[in-house]
Structures are given as C-alpha cells and as structure tokens.
C-alpha cells in the first residue's frame, strides 16, 4: 500500500550539531524562492521561559530571517501571540470568545513591535502592519503598501491576525500569503517537520519529507488548522514545516535543501512502504 507521503527517520540525539557543521562546510547556494511568508508562533519567542519574550531567542530568530533577506528573498512574517496571552490565560477563563480573541490579536501586535525593534538593532529594515486599526502604534494593513515594502527589500510583519475573532494566525498566514503572492508559506515550529508520531516519545517516528494537503487533513496531522490548510490547498500554495530553533534551517529551506516537511497538492515522491 502506498500513500502520498515520503518519510525519513527521526534524527538521532546530537545529529543537529553535525548537520550545522556540514552546512557551514558547504558552499552557499542560491535561493529557490523569490518571495516567502514565515509563520512564527508566539510560543517560539518564549524560549525556555513560561511566557513573555526571551531576548536571546528573538535575536536568534532575527538573525535567521536576516540571512534569507541577504539572499535577496522578499520576506513577510505573520506572528502569533500565545507567549503573551498565556500569561493572562487564567484571568481569561470563561471569557467571551470574541473578547479573548481580540486580546490575542493585541498580543500579536506587541510581538510584532518587539520583532521590529530587534530587526532595527541589526539594521534590518522592516514595517509592521496591523489588521486592527492602531495608527498611533503601527500602520493599518494595506495590501498595496505591503507589496511595495516587500519589493523594496523590507521585511513586512503582519500583526493582529485577520482582524476577526474565531480565526487563527495560521489562517492569517494563509490569507496574507495569498494576498502577497508568495511562493511558499514557511511554518516555523519547535520540531523539524511533521512526524508520524511525537518524536519526543516515539524514537522510531518517521518524518514526512513530502505530504499532500488531503492526507494532512484526513490524518489530522498538526500542520496548520483545517481552514488554513484548505485555503492553501485550494490556491495551490505550498507549506514547509521546519524548526526555527535549528540553526540554518530556514536558509536550507530557502535554498531548496531537504529540510522540514513540504506540504503540497502534488507530492513529487511517494512513500514506497508496504
């Protein structure tokens, strides 16, 4: 029996360092994407902290993004707010869902400002656009201006999700990706791809190299929420799931190397397991 997935074994402990050394020894490769959107979760900014923003982590993430900008890749970012909202979650228990979602949107604006400031400190030009109108703090989202910023080589950080409750920042990433005409959505997570099982508890878990949208939806794999996956599938917008904590992983995705899991409407390779 075959499926629309290509698998590889989970990496052994300590293999990341070896991969990083090997990557440094290889000559630089050209980017295979012209314009991308990076979906960055708020939780990624916490590092080992229970909530909030870890400065060392955000500086490392900015360094990864700066690396692909230097390759000439036009880069947009959609950022979540879970790291901030987690700190107020107990108080939000039992709260009206729409109100809680608006609080989450404001948390993404705070993260976007922190990310922009970290970029400013390394002389990386960026602009924040918000789906909520907060003109004293950030620009409102205007598609034409965002496109122009990207063409000028600036990083555009989209905050406040879609601006509507009941929609996740994953859906915002899919929507903004389509509006910006990006080549691919890059889902930055804590693990280096999508696995058949949790690799932390199942050492024999296999990483999907390629996966179809339909299979991801049918198997309820945690790639993105179903709305975001369906949007990307219908518009044939591929997604690559990779680890933002693996040094150089973002650059390897951009240069077309085997990194993370590619989710697409038409996998190039099929799983040959029986």
- Token digits for 117? 């400031």
What pLDDT does 266 receive? 72
Angle ∠(82,86,91) on CA atoms, nearest 5: 135
Walk across the sheet containing 206-212 and list its strands. 5-9, 206-212, 261-264, 239-243, 184-189, 35-40, 74-79, 155-159, 126-130, 139-140
> Over pLDDT 70: what percentage of the chain?
84
Residue-wise pLDDT for 14-70, tens only, equals 333 333 343 333 444 689 999 999 999 998 899 888 889 999 999 999 999 999 999
Residue-wise pLDDT for 161-219, tens only, equals 999 999 999 999 999 999 999 999 999 998 899 988 878 888 888 889 999 999 888 88
* Residue 268 vs residues 10, 210, 273: alpha-carbon distances, Å: 21, 8, 16
Is 182 in contact with 76 (CB distance < 8 Å)?
yes
261 confidence band (pLDDT: 50, 70, 90):
very high
Q: Is 38 helix (H, G, I), strand (E, B) or coil?
A: strand
């Amino acid at each position: 029996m075959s499926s629309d997935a290509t698998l590889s074994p989970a990496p052994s402990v300590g293999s990341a360092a070896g991969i990083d050394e090997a990557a440094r020894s290889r000559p630089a490769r050209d980017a295979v994407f012209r314009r991308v959107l990076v979906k960055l979760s708020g939780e990624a900014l916490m590092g080992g902290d229970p909530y909030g923003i870890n400065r060392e982590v955000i500086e490392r993430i900015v360094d990864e993004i700066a690396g692909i900008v230097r390759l000439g890749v036009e880069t947009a970012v959609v950022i979540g707010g879970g790291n901030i909202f987690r700190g107020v979650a107990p108080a939000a228990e039992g709260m009206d869902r729409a109100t809680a979602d608006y609080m989450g949107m404001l948390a993404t604006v705070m993260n976007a400002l922190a990310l922009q400031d970290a970029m400013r400190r390394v002389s990386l030009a960026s602009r924040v656009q918000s789906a909520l109108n907060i003109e004293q703090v950030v620009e409102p989202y205007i598609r034409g201006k965002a496109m122009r910023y990207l063409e000028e080589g600036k990083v555009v950080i989209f905050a406040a999700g879609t601006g509507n409750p009941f929609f996740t920042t994953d859906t915002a990433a899919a929507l903004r990706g389509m509006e910006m005409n990006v080549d691919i959505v890059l889902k930055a997570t804590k693990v280096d791809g999508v696995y058949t099982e949790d690799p932390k508890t199942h050492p024999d878990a296999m990483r999907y190299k390629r996966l179809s949208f339909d299979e991801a939806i049918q198997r309820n794999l945690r790639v993105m929420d179903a709305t975001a996956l369906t949007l990307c599938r219908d518009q044939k917008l591929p997604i690559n799931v990779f680890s933002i904590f693996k040094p150089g992983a973002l650059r390897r995705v951009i240069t077309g190397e085997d990194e993370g899991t590619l989710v697409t409407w038409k996998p190039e390779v099929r799983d040959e397991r029986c």
